[in-house]
RNA sequence: CGGGGCGUGGCGCAGACCGGUAGCGCGCCUGGUUUGGGACCAGGAGGUCGCGGGUUCGAGUCCCGCCGCCCCGACCA
């Protein structure tokens, strides 16, 4: 049958594949408003699972959720110089409402630092009020020039943590802690290996002292900034007068942090695991972890097969597995397979007359391989299989990332790499923005991070890959989303 | 904003160079037969051909203008 039902192969056109994979899985749709997207139930279900996992981690680290307004007085944004400058070009402004012009235009939040610090200034009086650990789940608007489903849309959903601390060390610990949470989420839930590190000044958040990030390498060997954690110093505290009385009786400004991940993670999930058939959901984030497809000819077969299938579904559901029974009539099993594979369901159980007779189901993994599983102890076997699939996805992704990583590259290597296969290039960096710019102009690659110790090369590079002067650090270069 | 591509039933496309009854595949609806990797037969529904002008007896097709979308680049999570 129709060969035209397949997706554009990744190797042929990764962008086309990405869009088609999203459409096939019914994760999202284009909207009537340019740059915006509709997140369909299949896509939103992934987001809900991400939210739940992350929210639990935020709560476990002492954070509480709150909600701040979508509209921010324009003047607020202007109180922090770098912040305005950074966000001004992509801000949407409400100038009219209620049928008349507003006295002061309202910014549609591109991020909530300013309006949150306005509140923090009211809430924080004493060192006893610190640390203040707040998170909010909300939507954000940034008027981007060029958009891409999930990866960069005009409006997107995210989570932004905002915390205030009595001293720099405590704030720094928070910034690192939340970067660690993001890393753990990426690795353990998304099965997406990431490197962590600090951003260069040119890549850091507008208004931050330092920005830390997790970066994953996608299948086209471009890097995706998947989460950021910012040390804001006392910049916003000073701009908004967030002061507190110290234990010693003095007055000081708080040290603050902010950190966020967004629906962009869904794009990362797609580009990390998808294959030419469609997306692949890691089991822990799969809205449907298991689909049961009954197979039969006669009515008697149908009855027996459906009875076993129902029992399987019940058993798995009771065991906490997210399972669906696809008992649609008039559709060939093969057609169902393709449909669920396109949606990324990690495990499929086929149940036919032969399986019923043998007391087994036939399990097909989205990561490859088919094998019978006995009905006896099925729930445990299925959970085992899901855990293995989760691990396989992570291992495969890490091997792919490592295979696309080169260390101690020379200037010529860097140029050749970025003109060719792409990937992560580790090399010495003098720290001069001039070299950063020159490299970007010549290769399109940017410094993704100055990697944390764990990711650094055993022998630190001695010289800058570009200018040859002594290196102040090792950096990771890649083309990025 | 620059470069490239594209707008024709829900989706994918043909028709355009050379103006003359709007077509194909998939999907959808009804009935029947099917069902271990994308079923088949029969019947059926569904289109302001992106929008606005113009040329013409007649425009999906030719001319002018506009709009939108996708991809690549500059800005960004």
User: Nucleotide B37: nearest residue by CA–C1'?
Assistant: A334
Distance B1 C1' – A265 CA (angstroms)? 29
Q: How far is residue A190's CA from residue A393's CA, in Å, rounded to a whole number?
A: 9
Do A304 and A365 fall within a single domain? yes
- The DSSP letter of residue A109 is P
A443 near A465, Cβ under 8 Å? no
Write out the DSSP string of A131-181.
SEEEEEEEEEE---SS-BTTTB-SEEEEEEEEEEESSHHHHHHHHHHHHHH
For residues A184-196, average pLDDT: 98
Question: Of A273, A305, A337, at which residue does a domain stop?
Answer: A273
Question: What value does the CA radius of gyration of chain A take, rounded to a whole number of Å?
Answer: 25
Residue A400 in any domain: the answer is no
* Residue A171 DSSP SS3: helix
Percent above pLDDT 90 for chain A: 84
Å separating the CA of residue A177 from the C1' of nucleotide B73: 37
Between CA A16 and C1' B66 the distance (Å) reads 28
- Range from A25-39, A99-113, A163-177 carrying the lowest mean pLDDT: A25-39
What tokens appear for A262 in the block? 């967004």
pLDDT for A340 beyond 90: yes
Shared domain for A60 and A174, answered yes or no, is: yes
Looking at the structure, tell me whether residues A201 and A87 fall in a common domain: yes
| A411 and A386, same domain (yes or no) | no
Q: What is the pLDDT of residue A5?
A: 66
Residue A4 confidence (pLDDT): 45
Per-residue confidence band for A224, with pLDDT thresholds at 50, 70 and 90: very high
The whole-angstrom separation of Cα A82 and Cα A236 is 10
Same domain for A227 and A305, yes or no, is no
Give mean pLDDT, residues A98-122. 93
A335 CA to B43 C1' distance (Å): 24
Residue whose structure tokens are 């594949």: A17
Domain containing residue A30: CATH number? 3.30.930.10
Is residue A363 within 8 Å of A372, Cβ to Cβ?
A: yes
Assess whether pLDDT exceeds 80 at residue A6.
Answer: no
Can you tell me the distance from the alpha carbon of A43 to that of A39, in angstroms, rounded to the nearest whole number? 6
- Measured between alpha carbons, how far is A121 from A239 in angstroms, rounded to an integer? 10
Q: Which nucleotide is nearest to A206 (CA to C1')?
A: B76
A281 falls within a domain: no
pLDDT of residue A391: 98
Return the pLDDT at A13.
Answer: 84
> Is residue A6 in a domain?
no
Number of domains in chain A: 3
The structure's pTM equals 0.96
Rounded CA gap, A107 and A447, in Å? 31
B76 closest protein residue (CA to C1'): A144
| A313 in the same domain as A431 | no
Query: What is the C-alpha to C-alpha distance for residues A172 and A161, in angstroms, rounded to an integer?
Result: 14
Residue A136: inside a domain:
yes
CA of A342 to C1' of B30 (A): 29
Q: Are strands A347-351 and A290-294 parallel, antiparallel or unpaired?
A: parallel
The answer as to whether A5 is a domain residue is no
Mean pLDDT of A90-117: 91
Q: A67 and A214 in one domain?
A: yes
Any domain includes A83: yes
* Gap from A35 CA to B48 C1', Å: 27
Question: What CATH number does the domain containing A432 carry?
Answer: 3.30.110.30
CA of A62 to C1' of B55 (A): 74
Indicate whether A380 and A427 sit together in one domain: no
Q: Which residue is nearest to nucleotide B35 (CA to C1')?
A: A332
Tell me the pLDDT band of A2, cut-offs 50, 70 and 90. Answer: very low
Residue A300 has pLDDT above 70, yes or no: yes
Q: What separation, in Å, do the N-terminal and C-terminal C-alpha atoms of chain A show?
A: 36
| A35 and A151 together in one domain | yes
A124 and A201 both lie in a single domain:
yes
A357 closest-nt by C1' vs CA: B36
A26 and A149 assigned to the same domain: yes
Integer Cα distance of A99 and A272 in angstroms:
48
State the DSSP string of A237-277. Answer: HHHHT-EEE-TTS-EEEPEEEEEEEETHHHHHHHHHH-BTT
Nucleotide nearest A155, from its CA to each C1' = B77
- From the list A104, A77, A98, the residue with the least C-alpha distance to A206 is A77
Please check whether residues A68 and A124 belong to one and the same domain: yes
Q: Nucleotide B39: nearest residue by CA–C1'?
A: A332
pLDDT at A29: 86
Nucleotide nearest to A338 (CA to C1'): B38
Query: What would the pLDDT profile of A408-457 be if each residue is shown by its tens digit?
Result: 999 999 999 998 899 999 999 999 999 999 999 889 999 999 999 999 99
Protein-contacted positions of strand B (CB under 7 Å): 1, 12, 25-26, 32-40, 68-77
The CATH number of whichever domain residue A348 belongs to comes to: 3.40.50.800
> What's the rounded mean pLDDT across residues A164-184?
98
Range of the domain at A438: 405-478
C1'-nearest nucleotide to the CA of A13: B71
Do the beta carbons of residue A286 and residue A343 sit within 8 Å? no
Q: What is the pLDDT of residues A252-287, one digit of tens each?
A: 999 999 999 999 999 999 999 999 999 999 999 999
Q: What does the block give as tokens for A352?
A: 């036919």
Computed over every residue of chain A, the mean pLDDT equals 94
Residue A72: inside a domain, yes or no? yes
pLDDT at A342 over 80: yes
Residue A303 has pLDDT above 60, yes or no: yes
What is A319-334 written as a DSSP string? TT--EEE---TT--HH
Mean pLDDT over A29-43 rounds to 86
User: Is residue A336 included in any domain, yes or no?
Assistant: yes
Residue with tokens 């093969």: A334
């Amino acid at each position: 049958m129709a060969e035209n039902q397949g997706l554009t192969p990744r190797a042929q056109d990764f962008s086309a594949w990405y869009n088609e994979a999203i459409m096939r899985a019914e994760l999202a749709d284009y909207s009537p408003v340019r740059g915006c997207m509709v997140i369909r139930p299949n896509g939103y279900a992934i987001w809900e699972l991400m939210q739940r996992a992350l929210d639990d981690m935020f709560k476990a680290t002492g954070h509480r959720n709150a909600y701040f307004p979508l509209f921010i007085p324009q003047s607020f944004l202007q109180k922090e110089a770098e912040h305005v400058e950074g966000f001004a070009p992509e801000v949407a402004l409400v100038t009219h409402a209620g049928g008349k012009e507003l006295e002061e235009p309202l910014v549609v939040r591109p991020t909530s630092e300013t309006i949150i610090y306005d509140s923090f200034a009211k809430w924080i009086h004493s060192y006893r009020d610190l640390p203040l650990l707040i998170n909010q789940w909300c939507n954000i608007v940034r008027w981007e020039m060029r958009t891409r489903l999930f990866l960069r849309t005009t409006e997107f959903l995210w989570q932004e943590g905002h915390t205030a601390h009595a001293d720099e060390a405590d704030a720094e610990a928070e910034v690192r802690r939340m970067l660690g949470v993001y890393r753990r989420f990426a690795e353990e839930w998304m099965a997406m290996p990431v490197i962590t590190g600090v951003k260069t000044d040119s890549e850091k958040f507008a208004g931050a002292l330092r920005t830390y990030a997790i970066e994953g390498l996608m299948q086209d060997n471009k890097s995706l900034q998947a989460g950021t954690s910012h040390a804001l110093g006392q910049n916003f505290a000073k701009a908004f007068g967030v002061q507190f009385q110290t234990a010693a009786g003095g007055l000081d400004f708080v040290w603050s942090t902010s950190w966020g991940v967004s629906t962009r993670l869904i794009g990362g999930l797609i580009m990390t695991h998808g294959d030419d058939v469609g997306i692949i959901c890691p089991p822990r984030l799969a809205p449907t972890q298991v689909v049961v497809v009954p197979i039969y000819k006669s009515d008697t077969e149908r009855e027996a097969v459906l009875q076993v299938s129902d029992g399987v579904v019940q058993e798995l559901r009771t065991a906490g597995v997210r399972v669906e029974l696809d008992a649609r009539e008039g559709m060939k099993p093969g057609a169902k397979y393709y449909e669920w594979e396109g949606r990324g369901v990690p495990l499929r159980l086929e149940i036919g007359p032969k399986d019923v007779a043998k007391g087994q189901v036939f399990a097909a993994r989205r990561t490859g391989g088919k094998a019978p599983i006995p009905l006896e102890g099925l729930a445990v076997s299925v959970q085992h299989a899901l855990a293995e699939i989760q691990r396989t996805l992570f291992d495969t992704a890490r091997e792919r990332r490592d295979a696309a990583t080169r260390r101690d590259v020379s200037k010529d290597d860097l140029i050749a790499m970025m003109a060719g296969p792409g990937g992560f290039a580790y090399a010495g960096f003098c720290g001069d923005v001039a070299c950063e710019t020159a490299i970007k102009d010549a290769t399109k690659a940017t410094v993704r991070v100055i990697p944390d110790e764990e990711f650094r090369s055993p022998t630190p590079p001695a010289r800058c890959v570009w200018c040859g002067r002594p290196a102040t650090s090792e950096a990771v270069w890649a083309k990025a989303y």
